A and B are shown apart, each in its own frame.
Chain A
Amino acid sequence: MSDLIITGGRVIDPAQNIDGEFSVLIRDGLVEFIGAPGEAKAKASADAEKLDATGKIVTPGLIDMHVHFREPGMEAQETIASGAAAAVAGGFSSVACMANTDPALDSAADINFVYQKAAAAGLANVFPVGAITAGREGRELAEMAQMARVGAVGFSDDGVAVPTAGLLRKAMTYAKMLGKPIIEHCEDASLTGEGVMNEGYVSTVLGLPGAPSESEEIIIARDVAIARLTGAHLHVQHVSTAGSLEIIRNAKRQGVRVTCEVCPHHLVLTDESVRGYDPIFKMAPPLRAQADVDACLKGLLDGTIDAIASDHAPHLAEAKEQGFLAAPCGVIGLETMLGILLLKLVHGGKISLLELLPKLTVAPAGILGLGRGVLKPGTPGDVTVIDLDREWVVDPAKFKSKSLNCPFTGWQLKGAAVATVVGGKVAFRDGV
């Protein structure tokens, strides 16, 4: 019997409406008890490991449902082990990693590979998302059932959208049978064209080819229509425009089974950041206008946006140094996401902690069917301890991630994870 007792903290579990000073007892990897400190202490074994969370927030382990761990194939950028280390350092006990590796995660063997690597690392739970189409080539369906059988939590060709409505219909129909979501990167390749940033005044002044918001919206609209047709669960990745949110809001109102996520960078940065031509600000979808940022915040508050995900996308420094046109899209985010959200949204007065936490716990767990994100006896003992007031400066050199492509370098943040517990094991602790 192995016990971990977390004492003194303010436990917030949005799924159970728990908010108060309690102790959490985890036994053999599962939540055993939440309740009065005395009672918990009485239940705990004499040699229980202790985590003193006095003055801190104790929540279900945070979940980032959208990361890229680059393994297999691009291990210089990130590995499952280094990514998992970055996850727990950022407060995330679970992540879902995307299939755009090289080769793509499009078979049961690939899904097993991810679980094995994650188990060997022994840090975060890493849940693989399988490719929708074989090789992510957008031609034929991948063996989705085989992948689901060994634990793929959803399907996505992330990086690109499924190219045709016909193929998407098949994929959604099939995924529905498997009870898994289709997770879409919504972008119309022909409308994006050569676009490397948001199309608008800034792209015009900079002389960089832009991609209009409609490039994203048109695919979301198509996908919603197919979700309505098939009854499948559509999850839209990284929404970034006001128009996208309008489409999703309407779809939800009409009962279409659609969920979506937003990335921290789309909540706090605009295309004005691109003015210096720094490829660190190049991502897909691109940073948008202020009106879009405002719409995303509104979408978070009114429930149109279900989850917040980092789209943690490591790239080699050399790749990002090729200049804005040639550089690949993406930023790392696992180790800044919580700090950015706490500083800009919670301390910034835009959203309360009680509104924020579900987007990082119970909501993504629900979308992916993880059975986590809640501190109920019998569920996996994943806990994150947050210090709301810890001030720190973003320095990617200190990150666990192998890559440095962080758009928030030098930012002074307020709020950080100080301990991450995964299956009852303290996978990360910093000063507690």
Chain B
Amino acid sequence: MPTKLYDEEWVRDTVMRLSDEILADRVPGTGRAILGIRTRGAVLADRIAAELKRRGHDLPLGYIDTTFYRDDLHKGGGLKEIRPTAIGFDVNDRDIVLVDDVLSSGRTVRAAMDLLFDYGRPSCIRLCVMLDRGGREMPIYPNFTGARVDVPKGGFVRLRLAEIDRGDAVYVVGRGEEEPA
């Protein structure tokens, strides 16, 4: 059985805190936009954008799917559903906040940045992640972090969000344990 690390209250509070930090960090003179990395990064981006909007900051919101930019195609398998990248704004000279659920090796973020540069030249890119489990293989560090999580060898950390999962929670999944719903 996976261990429940945080509950829905923590998730709610953390979305609020991350929104605070994103607002506080605002770069003057550029338009800021939120880009969620599919699948759960996109849901998280929705929540952050909604929170910012509630506070009077209606930022452009988009979604990206990094599948075509992954560097592990040769490893085969695991090709899940691909949903189109949807960036309904010009990324040129934009201050982009990339949002993802879990940061580990950094390869997804690298792929996301590669993708972003196929759309244009943002003035800067920030990274917001709910959970940082370490194990980086790229020189990539988040600007906004929900929590750092230690995971036992061979295990995973999973963010579950009510929009697509059974409810809001963070789980640590040990080696050989079942994925939480």
A touches B (Cβ under 8 A) = no
Chain B positions near chain A (C-beta within 8 angstroms): none
